[in-house]
Amino acid sequence: VPVDTETYALTEDERELLHAVQETPGISERELVESLGRSAPSVARAAKKLSQSGYLEAHHAGGETIWYPRTLGGPAPTEGGER
C-alpha cells in the first residue's frame, strides 16, 4: 500500500528508511544501517517510530531485528521467512 508521506509528515530519514524496507522486505536493521549510511541508533529510532505508526513490522530472528512493510489485511511474515 503506497504511503502518502506528506500527509503523515514523515521526515526525510523516515521516508528513506520506509522506502528501503518496501524495496527489500525482510531487511535487517544492520543492513539498513549499511545501506542508508546512518548510525545504528538513528535507524533504530526511525524504524521504531514507523513501527509504532503502523508502517512497519519488526520480527526478531537470531539476535537481529528484521523489518517488513505492514500490509493491510495481509498475513504477517513468519520469523526467519524468505525475502
pLDDT at 66: 96
Q: Which residue has the cell 522506502?
A: 19
Confidence category of residue 82, pLDDT binned at 50, 70, 90: very low
Q: What is the pTM of this model?
A: 0.75
Torsion of CA 36, 61, 24, 2, to 10 degrees: -100
pLDDT digits (tens, 9 = 90+) for 23-76: 999 999 999 999 999 999 999 999 999 999 889 999 998 999 999 998 754 444
pLDDT at 50: 94
Q: Which residue has the cell 505492514?
A: 70
Do 61 and 9 form a contact (C-beta atoms < 8 A)? no
3-class secondary structure, 61: strand
Q: Rounded distance, CA 49 to CA 44, Å?
A: 9
Strands 56-61 and 27-28 turn out to be unpaired
